[in-house]
Amino acid sequence: MQAMLEYDIAVIGAGPVGLAFAQALRGSGLHVGLFERAPEAAIANPAFDGREIALTHHSQKLMRDYGAGAALEDGAPLREARVLDGGSPFALRFNAEGDKAGALGLLVPNHRIRQELFNAVRADASAELHTGAEVTALSTDPREGRMTLADGREVRARLIVAADTRFSENRRRMGIGARMLDFGSSMMVARVAHEKPHQAIATEWFGHGQTVAMLPLAGDVSSFVLTLPTPRITQLMEATPEEFAADATRRTQSRWGAMELVATRHAYPLVAAYAHRFVGRRFALLGDAAVGMHPVTAHGFNFGLAGAERLASEIRAARDVADTAALLRFESRHRRGTFPLFTATNTIAKLYTDDRAPARLLRGAAMRLGAVLKPVRQAVAAQLMDVR
């Protein structure tokens, strides 16, 4: 018979947030087990996945605090963000006025974030990592939490934390529902080299029936981010690199000159999720499992890091790791920190992909208002930067 694995805290999912949470508990004296269904190689050396994560200033600080600052060295600074609406002459501009470094944020490849957080967990031994270890059953009672792994092993923990994707199976196993919002479209990300310089400016462009973003990377290279109904994205995933580059140049009206595809393309279905509760008996949700953002406002991982920090600080301050009052405080802080932007993001995503006349009028009005109201732009920039 296999021995029972016992921990103070068992974390499901060694994605970036599960790993960051283990680091946030570093030095607490708690015995933490991290359970990941993917094999070790996929976590230790994650493949390039096309995502360029815009890290706020506070997230950059947390990455350094958690021993994963090396990932920031591969980042590209974001000096300004511009929002364009179709052919409208108005552009909303957000910049980092007042920031010494002059940057709104830093664009860091997701696979480097994951790799450095993994290295940090390994170096600090902040958690015992079990890879190829899928959690297939889960329950909690007033005394403890219990999990079963796919290979039949049993795990006991005083607290179970699930950071197991926005489609979290373990959220459902705990009877916690989520508001899911399926946008019926997909987002494709692809690195492209282009003729004209981007000047470290990110451009988000809401055209007719499509949304394009160009995120500036090192050199004359950007991440081309395209949102379209899923069947159109599937076609573009299958196009030859030359066909794809010609299509991207046409969609951006040659603003950056001719483009060339320089890395693999990746597509993600656009589904937002917000859990009805973030905590249960001896249980908490983190990362996308708690708040799965639409990527348009670039805050999913930033919220994941903030959640890991909040939960770890409540646990450190409590007498018991699964103290109900501490878990509820985490829930209330994380809800306050995420719900307004979650709601605003979904509204923006819907408004800017709706080509019916009332939506177009509203967009035009919002653009004109934003272009003349400096306090509005400053408030948005402050939110993007998350300077505390």
Ligand X SMILES: Cc1cc2nc3c(=O)[nH]c(=O)nc-3n(C[C@H](O)[C@H](O)[C@H](O)COP(=O)(O)OP(=O)(O)OC[C@H]3O[C@@H](n4cnc5c(N)ncnc54)[C@H](O)[C@@H]3O)c2cc1C
Which residues form the interface with ligand X (CB under 6 A)?
12-18, 35-38, 51, 53-54, 110, 134-135, 163-165, 169, 187, 189, 268, 287-288, 295, 298-302, 304
Alpha helices in the chain (DSSP H): 16-24, 40-44, 57-65, 110-124, 169-173, 230-238, 241-251, 300-317, 324-351, 357-372, 374-385
The nearer residue to ligand X, 180 or 317, going by C-beta atoms, is 180
Residue with tokens 């919220």, as numbered in its chain: 303
CB of 364 to ligand X, least distance (A): 27
- Closest CB to ligand X among residues 147, 327: 147
Residue with smaller CB distance to ligand X, 299 or 363: 299
- CB-based contacts of 373, cutoff 8 Å, min separation 6: none
CB of 283 to ligand X, least distance (A): 14
Q: Which residue, 36 or 331, is less far from ligand X as judged by CB?
A: 36
As given in the structure block, the two tokens for residue 294 are 């639409």
Between 211 and 302, CB nearer to ligand X:
302
- HSE-CB for 52 with a 13 A CA cutoff: 27
Nearer to ligand X, 66 or 301 (CB): 301
Nearer to ligand X, 285 or 315 (CB): 285
Q: How far is the CB of 346 from ligand X (least distance, A)?
A: 15
What's the closest the beta carbon of residue 53 comes to ligand X, in angstroms?
Answer: 4
Q: Which residues of 142-174 are buried (b: 16+ CB within 10 A; e: fewer)?
A: eeebbbebeeeeebbbbbbbbbbbbebebbebb
CB of 170 to ligand X, least distance (A): 6
Q: Least distance (Å) from ligand X to the CB of residue 334?
A: 13
Distances (CA, A) of 92 to 153, 222, 313, 369: 55, 20, 37, 9
385 in Cβ contact with 96 (< 8 Å): yes
Helix 57-65 / helix 110-124 crossing angle, nearest 10 deg: 30
Beta carbon of residue 191, minimum distance to ligand X (angstroms, whole number): 12
Q: What is the CA radius of gyration of the chain?
A: 21
Cα–Cα distance between 204 and 349 in angstroms, integer? 12
